Amino acid sequence: MYKLITSDMDETLLSDKKVITPATVAAIKRASATGVYFVPNTGRSFNSIQDNLIQLGLSQKPDQYVISYNGAAIIENQQNRVLQVNALPYEIVEQLFKIGMREHLCVHVYTVDELYIWNMNDKETDYLNGRVTGWKLMHEDSLKFLQQTPITKIIFNIEAEAQRLSMQDYVEKNVDFALNISFSSDRYIEFNDPSADKGQAVLALAAKLGIKPSEVIAVGDNSNDLPMIKAAGLGVSVANGRDFVQAEANYVTQADNNHDPLAEIINKFIFEEE
């Protein structure tokens, strides 16, 4: 029996209109009522999904959780209590930031509580609106103000896949640190500490809850979701997932993110309804 479902947010749980549709909300509430944990597992901040938690009936609940920043933080929903942080060394973030500046990229820098953005552009603003609020624009070419603050991840907005892959190759050759590098939303290359990925985080949370990996369902669509898809007892790709994600999944939904894939998964694997 599956006891925990963990799901990516953008392009998985959320539709292209940036909402959780009513059928999915109903299915998640139904599963939660039977004692199944539903844990959002996102590259974004836990602060950015509070409205979604309210919609799902999970906001400010004790013994309910969110995994954020690609696994760099585990949060208990009640009072947004931070349980675990796996931060990047400041020197590595600074090196990556200088690479992003040199290439004139839009760069996001995440702490546990804040998102700072350097070189914002209109297309990026349009994408973030409705997903993320309260970011802070950086007007100086320095991260010194964050030198004593844990940084959970840094990402570059690069929309062309070939350029994302080229950037990955460049960073791997020029940054002397075993970064966890992943891609998301077909627009970002993301850099985390090697101790931080969605798979390691969900296994740590499951162990805390006394849940076996075989009792976990993990759902996603892109490369930053692969660690949890591989780690879970049932790894699931939504129908709109990248081909390489579908190839690693135990199950691929018939529905894409606009047509309630989480409801499909819950009905099939939690309640054994076709």
pLDDT digit string, tens, across residues 27-46: 999 999 999 999 999 999 99
Give, for 26, the enclosing helix (H) or strand (E): helix 22-33
CA dist., res. 166 & res. 185, Å (int): 17
Residue 245 one-letter amino acid: V
Report the amino acid identity of residue 85: V
pLDDT category, 274, cuts 50, 70, 90? confident
Q: Is residue 256 pLDDT above 80, yes or no?
A: yes
Residue 132 three-state SS: coil
Q: Which residue, 36, 38, 39, 41, is CA-closest to 8?
A: 41
* Whole-number Å distance between alpha carbons of 255 and 257: 7
Say yes or no to pLDDT of 171 above 90.
Answer: yes
Q: What percent of the chain has pLDDT over 90?
A: 98
Provide the pLDDT for residue 133. 86
Average pLDDT of the chain? 97
Apex CA 203: angle with CA 50 and CA 45, to 5°?
A: 25
Average pLDDT in the 232-252 region?
Answer: 98
Domain 90-192 has CATH 3.40.50.720: no
**Tens digits of residue pLDDT in 174-205:** 999 999 999 999 999 999 999 999 999 999 99
pLDDT computed for residue 191 by the predictor: 98
Q: Which of 123-132, 171-180, 247-256, 259-268 has the lowest mean pLDDT?
A: 123-132
Give mean pLDDT, residues 88-109.
98
Say which CATH topology domain 4-85+196-270 has.
Rossmann fold (3.40.50)
Domain spans in the chain, listed from the N-terminal domain onward: 4-85+196-270, 90-192
